[in-house]
Structure 1
């Protein structure tokens, strides 16, 4: 089994060639640890966020919540507040008495530590950790000596290293008298399961409060010796990328794993490296994989007894390698990438307006990915973390995305990329800020930091020009959007995501020729995550906020104004939802918003997980009432990060941890009347999606126009229809006074030679 950091649990029965999600309905999919019950592999435990401990009693096929790991009794002063939520991790089970279980709770908040259960995980009490008012304990680790299961070792970040010999009843802190540092910023610990004789082979990796790192070994669990670390790294580290000992994790997970049958062989994973030692840590060799940023590691014993399968989880996914000797050092080319786990963390997405099978996604640490109609996505290999991906609305072969060094662009649909940030001040760009795009012109984007910039195309490439001064320093741009018909009408929001303050809004009606005007923000207390402008009326705005409400003060997250050009902008909350709890949209962080270009009263919003469910909601009446978009129980319970409405019908969403999803009931390729034009295109053109032939032969009877190329409703495509098409102004675009969508036969927003070719290809045909 494997788990995604925010994607839930997956099960394989064929050594990783195929995987099945088995826990999408669980309340929190941020699973950090999975452990089988000793002696009974049918029972499996998993630790997750929001203090959840899960259990499966059928070898991982189905799962339920076992318990909420929290100690509120406060009998010994180590109590937990109700609003202190943590991550359940490092599940350790006594092999001699499986009712005795231990876990750690990870968090940046105080009051966390080591917890114990004596009833197989049903109830828990804290046995080690600071009390409510005493410091922090974030990245914790826990190891059990399976030969002596009453002996456990714990690393509490910012606290120290602790040992118990009586199952957690009493703990002693290990320090300088044991050969270890007094203070520990972060670290990891492991006990060899096959220590010889009465010895206890224990390994510890530590970064102390001064930043000095070291890898330590003990043969008795009491006295430690520094094996390799910052002080001697040039002698003990073998790494072609530099002889540097990296420890430990920062905000990433890591671990020490000892070979189950050979106690001298040890692996150490951390954010930057996967190390291996065959001499108890005296020498550490970096084992390269296809991706850095290590997250998890496991060893699978195989037959014959010398064989091992190494499994490594990192920000690039899951990899495995077969060793025929436990001392072997695998090369990067030996690793096999497992590409069947849909756990990509997408920040946002872009869908081609006239090709729903072309989708680009900006990912966490995997650059830009491309969907071409099959589940075999293309990793385009551009930058690490990417965000703000946009398809050019006029030239769809051009794709833009933000990387660590600003914007990049591809002119060939994502195959090759180049830097595209000339003129753009990149020093204060807000990560995950919305990228604005003008729908009627190529190469016209809006972005920025303390100022708003607009792009245009020069012979040398994409060039950016500031169209504002520093509007609200030191706050940075979080959202920006332009009118659909006037590129000089732009709305922008500034703030610091998650800071609890910000949300300053500004507008320009003349492209920045005169100073921008500060306008009223709908929620001055929190940042604005996205802005959407009504395609038909650029005075109408919708905004979403990324506020996280306090329990005592529920917050509105979706707002609308009918006149953003007024001297004083009036906002109204538009979250009424008759089927929602409390009659209002869920109280969560809202991430994105999309408006249909066909039915401007149709709006879709998405939000983070709340009450175990990520949300996709839509309105068909301009925000007066909302309802779930489809059956949300068919979506995994993870955060929805982005939404697109291509052709105004089909909903596609990106998730942060479970790839992308599409609502099947709104397939834009459906052709109900079988006339060769999709329902989506016919809705755009204003023809009837259920009639292949007109009911009457009344010319220009718009109420019953049926077959799109038959403009005069006489059931034939003939010279009359060709002449009507020829009378249109070629080059007319959506928003122009002389643009008539009835003649835009491919619904691309333009009347051009492609539409005339469609009429000519049907010449002489009849709908009957």
Structure 2
């Protein structure tokens, strides 16, 4: 997907901003003689999908948005998703966080995306509205004078972008941070604040927490096509809903909205989402005490409502389900109506953590509801459908069913929730990990009740013919990857939130590494014995060790012993293994504990001597006795198997911002180091190399800064391994390769393939020349091959 090089000024026509992408590519650095193709190692999901949007007029046109990993378009013929924002580069990395998607119901080729990852200073750039006239194949960008929060609290609310079906040149945007309601009247090219709109919202989650202290603002826009009214939901419990009856010129608070949308049992609530039933003249609004996605369930007895507004009469009706198996009516996450069957609607809970989320369904405009699962006697659970996780076997989280708490769940954080407007049998919903869906939804109605009464008045399950819900995330790759190890025929990864994976087939999703990591942080393997693989990650609780060990090339794993002084809940740090696999080295993060080593595959640990806490250790890839470490500008070396380390005396290295260093396979004492540099110390960024075990270093001056370094199969049989890096040359952050020991470097990716922030860890393949694997922050494991 390519980005049009246009920028839209507020209140002015879009102007050309520069040369075409191809010219920019040619000018950004030396071009590689090889053309690369890029793919993902298949995980299928792995992150939060807060929005799914069906086009209302064209069947099969569907978009999904992620919080940090861009946007996707559904391919009906292959039942897969195509990424649309891989062109986003490091200079605008925040644009990979998608706050909202709007698909034009009048001209379906048009699509809009509101982007920007953080409203706080974590993201240095302001947000934008991206616009496309060809379904996301190419994009223009209208930059905004404020930030947006694709990865902030409340990101599953909305949609904050909406196209007016009565005038599709008119697009609305609800904004956070007190910026109010914005509008474009030229298909998203330029934007201006709707000055007549009276509220910017005032609801914050936690004013004492910077990440949660932002005003949630204007949440969603919806259109009543019977009366031509425009409704806007606002995060203000005292005035949560406004309406315009004159095309957006003037706005009024909807009578009675504060009483029914802004409070439940004394708790302040906000209107999270809406859905319109134009056939019956109803606007449905769901509320919760928290904007989500982490909270919103029945904590402390707090909950939410489903309210129905008759748009022609102004009458409010509480249609909140009277029952759910948990007992407390929770806050809600998503709501959707069946446009083929007026009066049919569904809603989801949000973070009804145990034993599972609940999906509600009504066929009588909310008068009565049925549930996706229920209890018979005690906690004997019965379900309307089976969950098929075979496309993503890791969704079992290496667990087993525990009574009503199944290993494979409906999900959590369910806020993306949509019935296909063209097909009553199709529904998709997003979770914190995947997209679920079925094409058999109306079988729900034929099942009747799940639970009945026996002669004694007890609850008993009734026989139902279950249908199947399966993974619909194929093509969505949104893991945040922290480290990679390429063994040759096997790729091991450390991954945020889902631990990590061992891929022996890059096109097949695998189970999670069975170590109970909440986040994998580091992996390594023994160069001369690749059957020995080690990894480390953050863990919850104090019952097991952080380090995982495999002696069969990653097929099975066991956790190493815990280490005194290192608590659970984090602290994964980095791990290394000697070239022959005889010793493991672990440096816990964020503790005062110095690195340790083990001579018995993690059964016991011994502190190393000579290293400070937090020092990162790497092994020489030839000599098992030699190890290297770096911390605070000091490079250390061990020649006794890591028992003791000493400062090599090297000077001229950055004090702090060293991102990575790695030893070279097949070359004793060869070490490469990548860093951002430290101008306050008078040390520039870039790449350094040593051929004597870190005693002396030479800076590779072509790089302004470098983030990672890795090695792969050499171009020639006796040549130096291919070197790969994510680095900056002449102001261009890109993926570069050298095949001659670092004398010359060539860019191997292009402007269509940048993946926002990519390559913080990188490695070549030891068996396939030219193949490179790189990490991304939300676009999964990316790998490139030289095109045939």
Same fold (TM over 0.5): yes
* Counterpart pick for 2:555 among 415, 429, 438: 415
How far apart are 1:82 and its partner, in Å?
Answer: 12
Matched, 1:320 2:441: no
Residue pair 1:394, 1:440 contacting (<8 A) in 2 also: yes
Distance in structure 1 (CA, Å) of the matches to 2:268 and 2:143 = 25
The 1:140–1:614 alpha-carbon spacing in structure 2 relative to 1, beyond 3 Å, is: farther
Distance in structure 2 (CA, Å) of the matches to 1:257 and 1:535 = 55
Distance in structure 2 (CA, Å) of the matches to 1:268 and 1:146 = 23
Distance in structure 1 (CA, Å) of the matches to 2:65 and 2:419 = 18
1:72-119 deviations in Å (ceiling 9; x for gaps): xxxxxxxx389999999632122222222112346xxx4655422122
The 1:489–1:93 alpha-carbon spacing in structure 2 relative to 1, beyond 3 Å, is: same
Distance in structure 1 (CA, Å) of the matches to 2:691 and 2:191 = 55
2:605 maps to 464
The 1:320–1:617 alpha-carbon spacing in structure 2 relative to 1, beyond 3 Å, is: same
Residue pair 2:481, 2:780 contacting (<8 A) in 1 also: no
Q: How does 1:720-739 map to 2 (within 5 A)?
A: none
- What TM-score, normalized to structure 1? 0.64
Distance in structure 2 (CA, Å) of the matches to 1:10 and 1:438 = 42
Matched, 1:529 2:670: no
Residue pair 2:237, 2:270 contacting (<8 A) in 1 also: no
1:610-639 deviations in Å (ceiling 9; x for gaps): 99x872123456666643246564565562
- For the pair shown, which has the larger CA radius of gyration, 1 or 2? 1
* Counterpart pick for 1:70 among 131, 140, 144: 144
Residue pair 2:334, 2:348 contacting (<8 A) in 1 also: yes
1:39 maps to 106
2:188 maps to 121
Q: Secondary structure at the match of 1:401?
A: strand
1:664 maps to 785
1:606 maps to 726
How far apart are 1:417 and its partner, in Å?
Answer: 2.7
How far apart are 1:542 and its partner, in Å?
Answer: 3.8
Residue pair 1:401, 1:407 contacting (<8 A) in 2 also: yes
Residue pair 1:346, 1:654 contacting (<8 A) in 2 also: no
The 1:181–1:2 alpha-carbon spacing in structure 2 relative to 1, beyond 3 Å, is: same
Residue pair 2:112, 2:131 contacting (<8 A) in 1 also: yes
Distance in structure 1 (CA, Å) of the matches to 2:677 and 2:239 = 35
The 1:554–1:332 alpha-carbon spacing in structure 2 relative to 1, beyond 3 Å, is: farther
1:330-350 deviations in Å (ceiling 9; x for gaps): 999721123631514251454
* Counterpart pick for 2:735 among 613, 616, 622: 616
How far apart are 1:311 and its partner, in Å?
Answer: 0.7
Distance in structure 2 (CA, Å) of the matches to 1:42 and 1:105 = 25
> How many residue pairs get matched?
607
Residue pair 1:44, 1:56 contacting (<8 A) in 2 also: yes
The 1:369–1:215 alpha-carbon spacing in structure 2 relative to 1, beyond 3 Å, is: same
How far apart are 1:37 and its partner, in Å?
Answer: 1.3
How far apart are 1:214 and its partner, in Å?
Answer: 2.1
Greater Cα offset, 439-448 or 185-194? 185-194
Distance in structure 1 (CA, Å) of the matches to 2:730 and 2:323 = 48
Residue pair 2:260, 2:307 contacting (<8 A) in 1 also: no
Distance in structure 1 (CA, Å) of the matches to 2:585 and 2:598 = 8
How far apart are 1:164 and its partner, in Å?
Answer: 4.2
1:258-316 deviations in Å (ceiling 9; x for gaps): 4444557332364556432346499795679545344633211455xxx3311122344
Distance in structure 2 (CA, Å) of the matches to 1:308 and 1:470 = 61
Q: Secondary structure at the match of 2:214?
A: coil
Higher relative contact order (CA 8 A, sep 6+): 2
Matched, 1:190 2:277: no
The 1:56–1:184 alpha-carbon spacing in structure 2 relative to 1, beyond 3 Å, is: farther
Residue pair 1:484, 1:538 contacting (<8 A) in 2 also: yes
1:364 maps to 496
* Counterpart pick for 1:218 among 288, 297, 307: 307
Structure 1 gap segments, 5+ residues each: 72-79, 230-234, 249-253, 495-502, 578-583, 668-768
Matched, 1:645 2:764: yes
How far apart are 1:323 and its partner, in Å?
Answer: 0.8
Q: How does 1:368-407 map to 2 (within 5 A)?
A: 368-373=500-505, 375-380=507-512, 382=514, 383=516, 384-405=518-539, 406-407=546-547
Matched, 1:543 2:673: yes
1:320-373 deviations in Å (ceiling 9; x for gaps): 1121156579999721123631514251454444x3x32122333333333324
Residue pair 1:392, 1:443 contacting (<8 A) in 2 also: no
The 1:485–1:508 alpha-carbon spacing in structure 2 relative to 1, beyond 3 Å, is: same
Residue pair 2:678, 2:685 contacting (<8 A) in 1 also: no
How far apart are 1:224 and its partner, in Å?
Answer: 7.7
Residue pair 2:481, 2:781 contacting (<8 A) in 1 also: no
1:417-447 deviations in Å (ceiling 9; x for gaps): 3222443654278667443332233452333
Matched, 1:96 2:215: no
The 1:429–1:314 alpha-carbon spacing in structure 2 relative to 1, beyond 3 Å, is: closer
Distance in structure 1 (CA, Å) of the matches to 2:673 and 2:228 = 55
1:694 maps to none
Residue pair 1:434, 1:530 contacting (<8 A) in 2 also: no
2:325 maps to 238
Distance in structure 1 (CA, Å) of the matches to 2:308 and 2:730 = 47
The 1:470–1:121 alpha-carbon spacing in structure 2 relative to 1, beyond 3 Å, is: same
1:447 maps to 587
The 1:202–1:378 alpha-carbon spacing in structure 2 relative to 1, beyond 3 Å, is: closer
Residue pair 1:392, 1:398 contacting (<8 A) in 2 also: yes
Distance in structure 2 (CA, Å) of the matches to 1:431 and 1:165 = 53
1:351-405 deviations in Å (ceiling 9; x for gaps): 444x3x3212233333333332451232346345333233333432333333443
1:165 maps to 244
Question: How big is the alpha-carbon RMSD for the aligned residues of Structure 1 and Structure 2?
Answer: 5.2
Residue pair 2:74, 2:80 contacting (<8 A) in 1 also: yes
How far apart are 1:141 and its partner, in Å?
Answer: 2.7
Distance in structure 2 (CA, Å) of the matches to 1:666 and 1:600 = 22
Matched, 1:55 2:131: yes
Distance in structure 1 (CA, Å) of the matches to 2:787 and 2:609 = 40
Structure 2 gap segments, 5+ residues each: 1-61, 90-94, 117-125, 374-382, 388-407, 451-463, 540-545
1:700-741 deviations in Å (ceiling 9; x for gaps): xxxxxxxxxxxxxxxxxxxxxxxxxxxxxxxxxxxxxxxxxx
1:145-186 deviations in Å (ceiling 9; x for gaps): 433554323344999845343638557599865562499999
Distance in structure 2 (CA, Å) of the matches to 1:341 and 1:84 = 20
The 1:226–1:549 alpha-carbon spacing in structure 2 relative to 1, beyond 3 Å, is: farther
Greater Cα offset, 322-331 or 443-452? 322-331
Matched, 1:276 2:351: no
